[in-house]
Amino acid sequence: MKIVVDFDLCESNAICMQIAPDLFEVRDDDFLYVLNEEPGEDRREALEECVQRCPKQAISIAE
């Protein structure tokens, strides 16, 4: 499972960071950083919630 972020769409709303702080971090420069691009299957549910709740629909999962 690989996390794909479309950084042209991302506006750093940081919802993903709240849901999965182990995977995403918005830093003081207001940019989003993916902390672990290939998390284990145990994070799929959290990641799917990030995909659904990203206001910019900037996150997707590559299998």
With CB under 8 A as the rule, give the number of residues binding another protein: 19
Instruction: Rule CB under 8 A: say whether 52 interacts with another protein.
Output: yes
Judged by CB under 8 A, the residue of 7, 36, 38, 55 near another protein is 55
The answer for residues whose C-beta is within 8 angstroms of residue 14's C-beta and 6 or more apart is 24, 26, 32
The rounded distance, in Å, linking the Cα atoms of 43 and 46 is 5
Residue nearer to another protein on the CB measure, 1 or 26 = 26
Instruction: In whole angstroms, give the CA distance from residue 28 to residue 48.
Output: 25
6 lies in the site for another protein, by CB under 8 A? no
- In the complex, the residues that contact another protein under the rule CB under 8 A are 11-15, 17-18, 25-28, 30, 45, 48-49, 52-53, 55, 57
